Structure 1
């Protein structure tokens, strides 16, 4: 068993009590005129269909090739649903040392890129105990109704105390490697600038957990070989943009300073040396918004919206959104639509605020291009969004 890090006394109030709702300065809704009227006009073209209301605090969703759904619950359940949202089974995967407390629990789910021939399912989750826990990644074989032969393939180092800031999002890259985001553990933010542990990093591994030979710090004897980027606070969204051939992430700031970043191999993204946010006490974390050698955000939100996922939209239902980033938000109760190109990014729309819901994740139905929203609540919902 790895020894936990020294635990600093909690100095911050819980995130969910103090997050405030804000809109990016880049938003294109006009400043003149009534905002509520403009918002109503924006939302008038959507139809919402509730597929399920039975899942407590859903975290992520995957669409199977037969259009059935697999949905993770932070409480540790893996729900198997029909395409219409009818419960087929409540699978309780036997994940090694699954730890559920506060923000800890079962997180992301992702299907193997060649799922038809390699029916593996990847799950990220918190593992350990209150005094010694971290982010883990396992995979298992899906037999159509159950997850079998579950094997751990990655465990972040070191174990630490507390139950916050795990990251946990999974993305597959075109070279058949896997990217996993990892948080700073909340009380250990300074360690996000170190390469000697995984706190505040993203890691890149092979689909079986091995380390790729071309990782950016592979030749650095003082760095952990899995690290792909560092200087992160709590990345909870990651997506590959196929047209731009670039990675994008969404990241929780403290009180303000939420970010969209263009992820670069070996990049230092600055936390906590640079940020647009302040501590939950109101104290300044750093005087700097940028420093040489550190990558700043493409988009920033202050006050916070708490971005909780990220997809690059590819589909037919909303064809004029093709290639845009869709960023769900918890505190903001919205999905931000962000247009990106080779040199910049801009928030061009806010969506679904009329739902008045904490949106944890967003996915696309491959067959139709319709959107599937996960609502973060004790009686969580799956909402299907189409055009009217």
Structure 2
């Protein structure tokens, strides 16, 4: 048994923004949602969905176990993390039956499991793959990052090394877990604040509620804002976050984009700059799940404001920077998946100008009522989305 916790505990997996209780509410995958989807969409015998705003969703792979992240290899293969603790391979439009071998055991509990992946900037020569996942027990765990060498046929991970771990916590919520390399070759890692530890997000001496920056071998870059450890943990890049679930490096603009779950309301899209404090929980546009006030403050000196926010919540998930010819009129814009928040179950198009200023947002495919976990651009400019369900589906999205 390769998982630290029985697979049945996936039924308790939660989404940070969708509940009205003190703990985040469960991911929803039920008969009524399926019925709503069928009512809202024209569905063919091949399970192709068509939204009212003119998008066609064609299944690429079905029956995935809570798909979480999608990335593409130079060969065109797609790798998909399943939150239950596997990396799956989609090749030539087919989901291969066997997962990637040699991957680490994980804690499958609450929101814990496998999270994000990233390819080394020199992947073509070294085939190094990076994976973030929940490590530990329900009583003590954290977000951990490993690297390993992916075989030429993508069937096995070898030379696996643990290169980074966050501060231990006693909760299985809010792990963060997104990974992205930026232009200087360093790796950015999002670290959730563990839900119960929200006040620690204002303390950069630990990794709760931070975005970390490390070298590809796990060492600390010398130009990190707290590299000497005197005023903050060495790998901390930014702090004051709640649960960052989307990371994108925008090479053309030189911007690191991140979005994070608020509590009940107050989801945020931010521009990430080193050393900045993004405010949680000292300032927020949200309230507790039971409606009680966290703080009256929505701004404060020395704390960053989001470039856009969502009240009520959309439960943002994956995020992609649009490129390629298929959606050329959106080139350089952001697409964000939205799961099960009060205003979730859609894709959000964030329209950006050349400088990265937000011109507006548009909800897409909302009538399909699909909780979207991830959004990814393929190597030829194709758009792919993954659902947040236990019986997950990956769709290719095209305009009609």
What does 1:188-227 correspond to in 2, within 5 Å?
188-227=197-236
Q: Is the 8 A contact 1:77 1:93 kept in 2?
A: no
Q: In the alignment, what sits opposite 2:25?
A: 16
* 1:207 CA drift (Å): 0.8
Does the CA-based 8 Å contact 1:60-1:361 persist in structure 2? yes
Alpha-carbon distance in 2 for matches of 1:344, 1:185 = 31
- Mapping of residues 19-34 of structure 1, within 5 Å: none
Which runs of 5 or more structure 1 residues have no equivalent in the other structure?
1-10, 20-35
2:358 alignment counterpart? 345
Please show how residues 34-53 of structure 1 align to structure 2 within 5 Å: 43-53=52-62
Say yes or no: does 1:101 pair with 2:92: no
1:265 aligns with 2:270: no
- Any stretches of 5+ residues in structure 2 without a counterpart? 1-19, 29-39, 41-49
Change (3 A) 1:133 1:167: same
- Per-residue CA deviations over 1:246-275 (Å, capped at 9, x if unaligned) read 111010000000000011110000000100
Aligned to 2:141: 133
Asked if structure 1 preserves the Cα contact closer than 8 Å seen for 2:384 and 2:397, the reply is yes
In structure 2, distance between residues paired with 1:43 and 1:229: 40
What is the CA distance between 1:343 and its match in structure 2? Answer: 6.3
Q: Distance in 2 between matches of 1:55 and 1:104?
A: 16
Out of 217, 240, 257, which is 2:249 matched to? Answer: 240
Report the CA distance between 1:244 and its aligned residue.
Answer: 1.4
Is the counterpart of residue 335 in structure 1 residue 344 in structure 2?
Answer: no
| Structure 2 residue aligned with 1:364 | 377
Aligned to 1:32: none
Provide, for residues 95-128 of structure 1, a one-character-per-residue CA deviation record: whole Å limited to 9, x for no partner: 1x52110100011111112221120111000001
Relative to the length of structure 2, the TM-score reads: 0.85
- Structure-2 separation of matches of 1:244 and 1:62: 22
Q: CA deviation at 1:340?
A: 2.5
User: For the residues of structure 1 that align with 2:261 and 2:138, how far apart are their CA atoms?
Assistant: 22
* 1:228 aligned counterpart, secondary structure: strand
Q: Measure, in 1, the Cα distance between the counterparts of 2:55 and 2:24.
A: 31
Contact 2:27 2:388 in 1 (8 A): no
Classify the secondary structure of the residue corresponding to 1:116.
Answer: helix
2:240 to 231, 239, 259: 231
Paired residues of 1:82 and 1:88 also in contact (CA < 8 A): no
Kindly tell me: are residues 93 and 303 of structure 1, through their superposed partners in 2, closer, same or farther at Cα, counting changes over 3 Å? Answer: farther
Separation in 2, partners of 1:152, 1:18:
29
2:213–2:224 Cα contact (<8 Å) kept? yes
Match in the other structure for 1:115: 123
Secondary structure in structure 1 of the residue aligned to 2:123: coil
- Encode CA deviations 1:61-107: one digit per residue, 9 max, x unaligned: 11111211111000001111213133252235431x52110100011
* In 1, Cα distance between equivalents of 2:206 and 2:64: 34
* In structure 1, C-alpha distance between the alignment counterparts of 2:238 and 2:95, rounded to whole Å: 40
Find out whether 1:76 has 2:85 as its counterpart: yes
* Secondary structure, counterpart of 2:124 in structure 1: coil
Mapped contact 1:336–1:347 kept (Cα < 8 A): no
Q: 1:324 to 1:63 in 2, by over 3 A?
A: same
Structure 2 counterpart of 1:86, from 95, 99, 105: 95
Contact 1:324 1:337 in 2 (8 A): yes
SS in 1 for 2:199: helix
How many pairs are equivalent? 356
Give the Cα–Cα distance (whole angstroms) in 1 for the partners of residues 190 and 375 of structure 2.
17
CA distance in 2, matches of 1:346, 1:218: 36
TM-score when normalising by structure 1: 0.88
Q: Aligned partners of 1:71 and 1:84: how far apart in 2?
A: 13
SS, match of residue 304 in structure 1: coil
The residue aligned with 2:163 is 153
Q: Which consecutive segments of 4 or more residues in structure 1 shift more than 6 A?
A: none
**Deviation by residue 1:248-304 (Cα, 9 ceiling, x = unmatched):** 101000000000001111000000010000001111000101001100111110100
Residue of 52, 65, 70 corresponding to 1:61: 70
Give the distance between the partners of 2:101 and 2:126, measured in 1 at CA: 21
Corresponding residue of 1:182: 191
- Please give the residue correspondences for 1:282-361 in structure 2 after superposition, counting only pairs within 5 Å: 282-331=291-340, 332-341=344-353, 342=355, 344-361=357-374
Cα distance between partner residues in 2 of 1:142 and 1:90? 12
How far apart, in 1, do the equivalents of 2:307 and 2:287 lie? Answer: 19
